[in-house]
């Protein structure tokens, strides 16, 4: 069947409670570009990868490998992080940690030669940011960890492989190892460096261990993940290997393993090597791993082992499902590592131990109460910016911070960010929308158009765009509780199968139980600009193409929204077409009773200094057309995200062969501040506006199907429009 009925969805058990004893909410976002010097080229890619904090919890340091620097941030006021600048590392910094007034950073100095890796440990003064000392590590460093008492450092020397050589697998020499370096009164002596071999331990390529991540417990023991070898090693406080074990395999059910433009959590994946990346000790007796996967596997989850390798807990498919429920599942990674858990952070807040599981591809962090290590409880999913790589808990200040490595500035997207979260006892501000409780699980994202139900209070219908090209769908939303729930999915179909060549950007009711949908055209992909009339089951009953007189002038920025006034549909065109006056776009009128295009009017766009301006939505309410008008800019560059109003009395359509009358309009609401309500960066795609019969306006943003996006979907009401 096309329609997934969820009549008892709200009665089902939930994955995590609406209120936990401790709630984490984002309070600030810091773009890495803020650390660039005046006059520096800000179009150059930067990153925030692995992040650490000073002993007093006031200064953050993150590695910025593309830029070749360490970035420093002052969080004395955590809600207003301040830049402390970048320090060049003469190589690629991988991880930095702070002990007292000293910063210790692993720097990869390899010059593109995988067979001759090199690296150094550099020591900086925290206040002056001056490099005081440097030690040759004898190989390429990855993770750096400090002992809890500050007495030594543990460094994973990965000597990583060439992923383009052969099938990218092992062995590829030279072998990696671990370095232990004592810290004496805030100083290092390179001659005291201890090299700890990892060779001969793993079942997979034992001659070529690739240490990935290290952590140190209160007893001075080091735990090491050999990711590509699917192995975990424990080193005692004297620097000797005291134990090691395979990370094992996992078999999953009900996951999506197909990169096919649809979200179906119905596949099985057997015998997946965990291939753990991030690791931390939980106390002195448990080891927690994020199972990112690499060349052979990745179990899309996380695991708690005892120190001898016994599995105390494994998340199975539950973490992957939690990511999908909030619209963050990265379909394009389905045939690889799914949501790709990257790293683990552990912290005790208000007496409760928490594990923070960082999903690189889902751009979220799962928060788990691990009071009982055998039965962790998921309490929250936190939005984290694009591709989080590292995290640090600061319990002394009730803070947790993530570092997000992706920088899309060169393509006009968001820059890399550091995100600051604060623990408290209030409600969670995110997610705003979830399919939690759906059975079978409803995956969703890229919501691009929305309409309110005319008869059921708190009921909305939204469509997804071409991010899910193989299965266009209408989602039913219940907004009577927070977060709002997606309680149904209706696949749009033609001839008994999911309809292809649709890019749904608008939806309105037909007044008879069905819907009218607007699909944006793209001639290069043979997708027409068209209206589709579907019944309640999503079956296409009628397709309406554009009048031939305007088709020739159409661009790929086509139909972007549809609203209904009785028998008349009003359709918004996103951007100028060839026959439009400069700075104007069309609003087109179609008579559903006469089955004929009535003509159109011309809508004057606002102007901005950068980017382009276009329309995202049109909805009809109380004798007016309300239009979403926006620029295509993001974060601090975003200047125009507004709702405008045009009186229907003025919208008298003229024939499309004539000059169209220009509409008077008024801006009734500026959305920029609303888009910052979760203290993230301002997103570009404000795509959907729906107005209830009572006059309350609701907004949905489009997360682009988690492709080059933070994956965040904002769903909120701004109340009644003036």
**Same domain assignment for residues 527 and 667:** yes
Q: Domain check: are 387 and 407 in the same one? A: yes
Query: Do 412 and 472 share a domain, yes or no?
Result: no
For residues 398 and 501, state if they share a domain. no
Count the neighbouring beta carbons within 10 Å of the beta carbon of residue 642.
20
For residue range 190-208, list pLDDT tens digits in order: 999 999 999 999 999 999 9
- Confidence bin at 166 (pLDDT 50/70/90): confident
User: What percent of the chain lies above the pLDDT cut of 90?
Assistant: 91
The reply to whether 471 and 564 lie within a common domain is: yes
Question: Same domain for 359 and 460?
Answer: no
Contact 46, 70 (CB under 8 A): no
pLDDT at 7: 25
pLDDT of residue 297: 81
* 547 and 413 share one domain: no
Q: Sort 547 into a burial class: Cβ within 10 Å, 0-12 / 13-18 / 19+.
A: middle
Cβ within 8 Å of residue 7, ≥6 positions away? none
Sheet holding 241-246, edge to edge: 211-216, 222-226, 231-235, 241-246
Q: Give the pLDDT score at 168.
A: 85
Boundary of a domain, candidates 404, 427, 450: 427
- Flag whether the pTM goes above 0.85: yes
Structural domain total, the chain: 2
Residue 480 within a domain: yes
In sequence order, what are the beta bridge partners of 181? Answer: 153
C-alpha 546/C-alpha 563 separation (Å) is: 16
State the pLDDT confidence band at 2, using cuts at 50, 70 and 90.
very low
Task: State yes or no: pLDDT of 14 exceeds 80.
Answer: no
Per-residue pLDDT at 417: 97
Please write the tens of the pLDDT for every residue from 271-306.
999 999 999 999 999 999 999 999 888 899 999 999
Domain end, chosen from 396, 427, 458, is at: 427
Asked if the model's pLDDT at residue 18 lies above 90, the reply is: no
Claim to verify: residue 274 and residue 366 sit in the same structural domain = yes
pLDDT, tens digit (0-9, with 9 covering 90-100), for 356-371: 999 999 999 999 999 9
Per-residue model confidence (pLDDT) at position 565: 98
Compute CA 623 distance to the chain's CA centroid, rounded to the nearest angstrom: 39
* Token pair belonging to 634: 């993001």
Per mean pLDDT, which range of 144-148, 407-411, 452-456, 687-691 is the poorest?
A: 407-411
Alpha-carbon radius of gyration of the chain = 27
CATH of residue 656: 2.40.128.630
Considering the domain architecture, whether residues 347 and 474 belong to the same structural domain is answered as no
Same domain, 368 and 471: no
Phi first, then psi: give them for residue 491, nearest 5 degrees.
Answer: -75, 130
548 in helix, strand or coil?
Answer: helix
- For residues 637 and 609, membership in a common domain is answered with yes
Mean pLDDT, the chain, whole residue set: 95
Domain coverage including residue 459: 434-720
Residue 641 lies in a domain: yes
121 or 163, higher pLDDT: 121
Q: Tell me what pLDDT residue 10 has.
A: 29
In which residue are the tokens 């910016």 written?
385
* C-alpha neighbours within 13 Å on the C-beta side of residue 156: 29
pLDDT tens digit sequence for 33-65: 999 999 898 888 999 999 999 999 999 999 999
Flag the least confident range among 159-163, 177-181, 293-297, 650-654: 293-297
Instruction: Give the model's pLDDT for residue 296.
Output: 84
547 inside domain: yes
Q: Which of 427, 452, 487 is the last residue of a domain?
A: 427
* Statement to judge: residues 257 and 347 lie in one domain: yes
Span 577-600, mean pLDDT? 97
Is residue 251 domain-resident?
A: yes
Which tens digits make up the pLDDT trace of 657-701? 999 999 999 999 999 999 999 999 999 999 999 999 999 999 999
Q: Give me the DSSP letters along 181-242.
A: EE-BTTB--GGG-EEEE-TT--SSSTTS--EEEEEE-TTS-EEEEETTTTEEEEE-TTS-EE
């Amino acid at each position: 069947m096309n329609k997934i009925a969820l009549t008892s969805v709200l009665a089902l058990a939930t994955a995590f409670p609406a209120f936990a004893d401790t709630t984490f909410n984002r309070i600030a976002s810091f773009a890495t570009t803020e650390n660039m010097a005046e006059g520096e080229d800000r179009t150059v890619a930067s990153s925030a990868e692995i992040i650490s904090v000073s002993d007093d919890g006031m200064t953050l340091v993150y590695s910025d490998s593309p830029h070749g620097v360490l970035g420093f941030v002052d969080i004395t006021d955590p809600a207003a992080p301040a830049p402390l600048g970048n320090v060049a590392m003469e190589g690629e910094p991988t991880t930095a940690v702070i002990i007292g007034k000293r910063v210790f950073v692993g720097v990869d100095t390899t010059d593109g030669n995988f067979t001759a890796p090199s690296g150094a440990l550099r020591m900086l003064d925290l206040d002056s940011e001056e490099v005081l000392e440097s030690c040759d590590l004898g190989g390429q460093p990855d993770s750096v960890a400090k002992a809890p008492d500050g007495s030594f450092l543990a460094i994973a020397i990965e000597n990583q492989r060439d992923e383009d050589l052969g099938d990218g697998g092992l062995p590829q020499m030279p072998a990696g190892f671990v370095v232990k370096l004592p810290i004496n009164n805030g100083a290092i002596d390179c001659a005291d460096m201890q090299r700890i071999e990892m060779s001969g331990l793993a079942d997979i390529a034992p001659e070529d261990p690739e240490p990935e991540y290290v952590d140190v417990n209160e007893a001075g023991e080091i735990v090491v993940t050999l990711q590509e070898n699917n192995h975990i090693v424990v080193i005692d406080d004297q620097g000797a290997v005291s134990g090691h074990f395979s990370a094992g395999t996992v078999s999953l059910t009900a996951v999506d393993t197909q990169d096919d433009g649809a979200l179906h959590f119905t596949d099985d994946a057997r015998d997946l090597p965990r291939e753990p990346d991030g690791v931390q000790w939980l106390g002195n007796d448990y080891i927690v791993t994020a199972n990112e996967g690499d060349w052979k596997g990745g179990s899309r989850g996380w695991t708690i082992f005892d120190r001898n390798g016994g599995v105390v807990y494994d998340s199975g498919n539950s973490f992957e499902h939690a990511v999908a429920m909030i619209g963050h599942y990265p379909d394009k990674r389905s045939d690889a590592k799914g949501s790709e858990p990257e790293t683990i952070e552990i912290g005790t807040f208000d007496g409760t131990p928490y594990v923070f599981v960082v999903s690189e591809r889902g751009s979220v962090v799962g928060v788990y109460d691990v009071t009982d290590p055998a039965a962790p409880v998921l309490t929250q999913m936190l939005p984290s910016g694009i591709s989080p790589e590292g995290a640090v808990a600061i319990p002394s200040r009730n803070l947790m911070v993530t570092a997000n490595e992706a920088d899309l500035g060169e393509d006009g997207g968001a820059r890399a960010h550091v995100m600051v979260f604060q623990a408290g006892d209030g409600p969670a501000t995110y997610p705003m929308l979830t399919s939690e409780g759906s059975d079978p699980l409803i995956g969703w994202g890229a919501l691009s158009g929305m309409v309110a139900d005319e008869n059921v209070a708190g009921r909305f219908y939204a469509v997804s765009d071409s991010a899910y090209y193989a299965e266009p769908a209408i989602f039913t939303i219940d907004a009577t509780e927070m977060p709002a729930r997606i309680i149904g999915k209706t696949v749009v179909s033609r001839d008994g199968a999911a309809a292809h060549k649709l890019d749904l950007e608008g939806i309105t009711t037909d007044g008879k139980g069905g819907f009218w949908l607007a699909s944006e055209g793209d001639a290069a992909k043979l997708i027409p600009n068209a209206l589709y009339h579907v019944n309640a089951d999503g079956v296409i009953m009628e397709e309406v193409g554009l009048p031939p007189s305007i088709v020739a002038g159409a661009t790929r920025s086509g139909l972007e929204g549809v609203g209904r006034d009785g028998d008349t549909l009003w359709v918004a065109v996103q951007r100028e077409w060839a026959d439009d006056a400069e700075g104007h776009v069309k609003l087109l009128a179609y008579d559903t009773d006469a089955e004929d295009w009535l003509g159109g009017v011309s809508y004057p766009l606002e102007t901005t200094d950068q980017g382009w301006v276009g329309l995202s939505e049109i909805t009809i309410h109380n004798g007016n057309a309300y239009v979403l008008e926006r620029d295509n800019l993001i974060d601090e560059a975003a200047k125009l995200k507004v709702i405008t109003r045009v009186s229907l009395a003025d919208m008298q359509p003229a024939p499309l062969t004539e000059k169209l009358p220009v509409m008077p309009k008024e801006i009734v609401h500026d959305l920029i501040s609303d888009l910052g309500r979760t203290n993230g960066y301002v997103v570009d795609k404000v795509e959907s506006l729906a107005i209830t019969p009572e006059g309350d306006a609701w907004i949905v943003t489009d997360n682009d199907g988690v492709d080059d996006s933070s994956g965040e979907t904002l769903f909120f009401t701004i109340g009644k429009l003036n």
